[in-house]
Chain A
């Protein structure tokens, strides 16, 4: 490196790296998020960042994108030290970031969203909507996105909204583009489109940082991979120097032999029986039997209606037709309270929106569904509940400094375990899990899978909705595939392949 710095000072910013992170550390109250982290980005390359949740990837990217300052260390752009006091400053310096959560304004058009804050103006200083539309169309054409600039964001599917976010980031013509879990909400088709865009940008000499938990994608698209663990930078190498095994063990710090631990299933009697379940204008004709000890996977493209079925079974959007039987007896489920009375539980798809009480403590999050069972004339039996929560947290291996911290401070995987613990405390017999390992690192993923297998072994009946085909195939005893509001078919574990599932999902 010393030759390089000499060459730099001579030639003036002739560093081969467009962005250098030099011994960056970041401390939040009570937690050291990053320690002496290094990273070097080459122009015209795709640099993947992998690591468990809480490893520090998003924290580092937020620092680069100007969300907050580092506690110590230096950032160099083209060899020159610089600082980004705000997201605006980072954008102006040529660094754009696509966040995990969408930041679009639902009631504005795609064009307005993309150019917000830097709209084309006419002679009078007013916004030139025609120019806005033309620029957006040009951008979409260049990227191969077939959307209408005049559509409102809220009329788009989540997948297409993600594409708009990507187009918006590209429109800044920045030299560094950071993508944080860009494929978490999009389907196979859009992933192909995204990768084409990324390769195009790479050919245009941009540096792309690709953060993802999906290792198969990382191996497909990345040139280099950097591994983070517990706030430290552990390794960087070209992609060919890694195997999936080596990558996982670097991320986790230990050998992980089986990705989908699955015991011998002991399938028992029918716990839940659904016939011709329908929700007006959303789905219809859904029929299946769920047995004790079984894991029924529900697969399908986004928008197929899988989450809707789970929400209907749980009483969030009660069914408009059809029959539900639990233990052989017909039941009416018109509210989540009723579903809980029938020993059902639902781990929702979006834990931040409908699962967690971010400001409340870990204890309060875990016990909320059990208060109805542990109160005497309205007074909560707190001592008993606290003890039960502690036992549950230990058995689920929830990592938290204490029970009183806001659950917001926990990593995604641990947050998911807290919500899972909440439902397990209600002694539910029918467990519905909607994308249980979304946005969760490999280590926690394996733990949750092991837990699911254990619970099934104890006789629980489990429904698992997942968009990750390897997970569906690895964990399910049977797979129900949905397509646009209908069930398109069932596959047994022995005959399931990714191709067959995709075929049923797209039919």
Chain B
């Protein structure tokens, strides 16, 4: 990890709000980590880590859902908020989508009358579930004025409970091929990358993006500037919920089932990916491109450790170290700018 830290510090030299150097240093970290695993691969296992197309696919595939959630939570964090409910909403959306994606010949379908539905129906349902959860979060946060931490914590618990209650704890199995297609092969990766591209454009070039950064930069000034802050916050949280719903759909499709225990810990992985990618928890700073790189770094680490046969618990420890290291580098760079 030390090598990666040194590489990053050498590259980081941005002024506040300079676009390129921020991503450049995180990119360097990612490249550094990839190279370390490549080196270790050759010395410990005598084979390449990176030059293996199926492994490269798996690296991104296993974090595609995390990445989708991270895109949503990045926008939330930029407004100085937080979303702890992503993982639970993944489960709830997965359950609802799965229950509407069952084949007609399955004896134990959840809704026997609603089988063999076109895949668009469970997809739509999953997205609606996610959006409704986000809408609820946003409305309470913006209009009742409760802290985002508390509200999304409540949603985290409630959504999980709803997911369990939905089928009284029974897993939902046997999903149509049309639906599971979404989780097959490289489809989740494509969905993740397209979504990232869309939101990068939105955050950089649209009114929505400018207003989001403004609210995060100074909420009171945003209000005086004529921005309807409350309405905007509701939209931001709804989008985060929608993306969690999408994550739930993909999770259900990939495992061809719906289980109430899905998505455990996903919200923290999403926040980690976002923060590693340069999003500042104090608000106002963060970029989708950085979040994508942060997501890839997580993917690299999971695959890399598995490739080297490292204990799963060590992986978690390493993940924690990387999160702290990434934020520390960011902090040091910020301090260096303002002190000289």
Contact = CB atoms under 8 A, between A and B. Distances in A.
Interface of A: 27-30, 68, 71, 314, 316, 335-337, 339-340, 346, 348, 353-361, 364, 368-369, 371-372, 375, 378-380, 382, 404-406, 408, 422
B17 A372 contact: no
A404 B16 CA distance: 9
Most chain B C-beta atoms within 10 Å of own C-beta, residue among A30, A368, A405: A368
29 contacts: A30-B15, A68-B339, A335-B228, A336-B226, A337-B228, A354-B221, A354-B223, A356-B218, A356-B221, A357-B217, A357-B284, A358-B218, A359-B16, A360-B17, A360-B214, A360-B217, A360-B284, A364-B214, A368-B225, A371-B207, A371-B210, A372-B207, A372-B226, A375-B207, A378-B207, A380-B206, A406-B16, A406-B17, A422-B225
A378 B208 contact: yes
Interface string B199-230: 00000011110110110011011111111100
A382 B206 CA distance: 9
Given A336-B225, A368-B214, 5 more contacts: A68-B339, A355-B224, A356-B218, A371-B211, A375-B206
B337 interface: yes
Contacts of B340: 27-29, 68, 71
B292 interface: no
A405 B18 CA distance: 8
Most chain B C-beta atoms within 10 Å of own C-beta, residue among A336, A337, A359: A359
B285 A359 contact: yes
Contacts, number: 92
Most chain B C-beta atoms within 10 Å of own C-beta, residue among A28, A336, A372: A336
A369 B226 contact: yes
Interface residues of B, number: 28
B208 A361 contact: no
A380 B227 CA distance: 15
Contacts of A364: 210, 213-214
A406 to B, nearest CB: 4
Contacts of B225: 336, 368-369, 422
Contact of B210 (A339, A346, A368): A368
Contacts of A378: 206-208
A314 B210 CA distance: 22
B207 to A, nearest CB: 5
A408 B114 CA distance: 59
Interface in B147-177: none
A405 B337 CA distance: 12
A337 B217 CA distance: 19
A353 B220 CA distance: 7
Given A354-B221, A357-B221, A358-B218, A408 B227 contact: no
Contacts of B223: 316, 336, 354
A355 B221 contact: yes
A303 B228 CA distance: 28
A28 B338 CA distance: 8
Contact of B15 (A27, A316, A405): A405
B39 to A, nearest CB: 36
Contacts of A340: 226
Given A380-B205, A380-B206, A29 B213 contact: no
Nearest to A338: B226
B303 to A, nearest CB: 36
B210 A359 contact: no
B206 A357 contact: no
Interface string B1-26: 00000000000000111100000000
A336 B224 contact: yes
Contacts of A361: 17
A359 B228 contact: no
5 closest pairs, A vs B, by CB?
Answer: A357-B217, A406-B16, A340-B226, A337-B226, A354-B220
